[in-house]
Amino acid sequence: MKILVVNAGSSSLKYQLIDMDDRSVMAKGQCERITVDGHFKHAAGDKQTEFDIALPDHKVAIELVLKYLTDAEYGVIGDMSEIAAVGHRIVNGGEVFPESCIMDEEKIRKLEALTEFAPLHNPPAVTGIRACIEVMGENVPQICVFDTSFHQTMPKEASVYAIPYKYYTDYGIRRFGAHGTSHKYVAGECARLMGKDPKDLKIVTCHLGNGSSITAVDGGKCIDTSMGFTPLAGLLMGTRCGDIDPAILPFIMQKDNIPVEEIGDFLNKKCGVLGLSGVSSDFRDLEAAAKEGNERAALALNMFNYQVKKFIGAYMAAMGGLDAIVFTAGIGENNAVMRKQICEELSFLGIEVDDAKNAERGKAQEITKPTSRVHVFVIPTNEELAIALDTEYLVRNA
């Protein structure tokens, strides 16, 4: 079965065509600057192409993707009908969508109604779904996989905020979490690598990238996660502040005359390790600066490690135990120094890192010794494959 995975943003549309028989990526690419002017990149095997082209809307973008997937030179399928289904990545499905599902007009309307929970991401995703239906026809199933679904199993004490309850009941304000597709995928892979049933495991999954979140997965289910109502909460990140005392907001808004319309941008784009260090949002730049003696870059790195460690400890307490920790995403997969430091500081848990394995790259594997009481893994995340797997499951069981 061949599945097209689509991740539509306001001006971009990323895609992968995945052959589920061997889980290989047949082709991938992206449309950029949709509605602005237009740029297209496409790769299939060793063939690649990239050019400017007018992309006035998402429908034109999807048409272009399908044209190249079936192209004589750059294509990988003979005809569009070989695509069994399309899996769409959706940032926020609210409480309405606790699981991935096949979309119909009623569900698309329900998704549209959730716009205020993800104003930058949900509307272009809906545009992407409608464009696929228009171009591919009503008979090709369109499946939505939500970044929030995996976190819907959180109990109320982890998901509701200590503000008047009406804000939950009337406005739906609660912890939704994010990166759910990634957390679910790496937790599942961790259980598979351990040769155990997910039901028997307590796992903390650390998705550490430009955006970072940590999740407590108890018996295969999320019971808590560090991101909140929006992906601003939890750990400090590249440019996001993470958890701060909310009273800081009115304080600095008054001091620096920041209007309410600008405070979101400030918290999302000017804070985190960038704001703290004044150097960069990229952890590689911070490491280089810290090596040259930049104290604020070192502080940002140490603070990040400290917060990761604190969340792992908190979630271990929340689950009443810990069998495994998983590191994934840009920093989690690549930064061996950071992994080693965090694990060493948690050595009181009986974590014993295997340095040779920790130094290896790009492989899903355990990086602790067999005698380690808590097992630590590096598992490259693969959100596109996770979306394709849910899509395949729903199509096969429809």
Interface residues with ligand AMP (CB under 6 A) are 209-210, 238, 282-284, 329-331, 334-335
Q: Sheet holding 375-378: strands in order across?
A: 221-225, 212-218, 202-208, 324-328, 375-378, 365-366
Rounded to whole angstroms, the Cα distance separating 125 from 129 reads: 6
Contact by Cβ (8 Å): 305, 336? no
State the amino acid at position 232 in one-letter form: L
Token look-up 């899509």 returns 391
Nearer to ligand AMP, 176 or 283 (CB): 283
We find the least distance from the C-beta atom of residue 349 to ligand AMP, in angstroms, to be 24
The backbone torsions φ and ψ at residue 301, rounded to the nearest 5 degrees and listed phi first, read -65, -45
Closest CA to 377 of 317, 322, 297: 322
Burial of 343 (0-12, 13-18, 19+ CB in 10 A): buried
**What length is written for the chain?**
398
Retrieve residue 124's tokens: 């272009």
Nearer to ligand AMP, 16 or 335 (CB): 335
**104 a catalytic residue:** no
**Residue nearest to ligand AMP according to CB distances in the complex:** 330
In the chain, the largest separation of any two C-alpha atoms, in whole Å, equals 62
We find the least distance from the C-beta atom of residue 206 to ligand AMP, in angstroms, to be 12
CA 145 to chain centre: 12
Retrieve residue 359's tokens: 């130094």
Residue of 104, 147, 243, 265 marked catalytic: 147
We find the least distance from the C-beta atom of residue 276 to ligand AMP, in angstroms, to be 14
We find the least distance from the C-beta atom of residue 180 to ligand AMP, in angstroms, to be 15
Nearer to ligand AMP, 97 or 311 (CB): 311
Q: Residue 31: how many CB atoms within 10 A of its CB?
A: 25
Nearer to ligand AMP, 283 or 311 (CB): 283
We find the least distance from the C-beta atom of residue 141 to ligand AMP, in angstroms, to be 29
Nearer to ligand AMP, 210 or 230 (CB): 210
| Active site members | 147
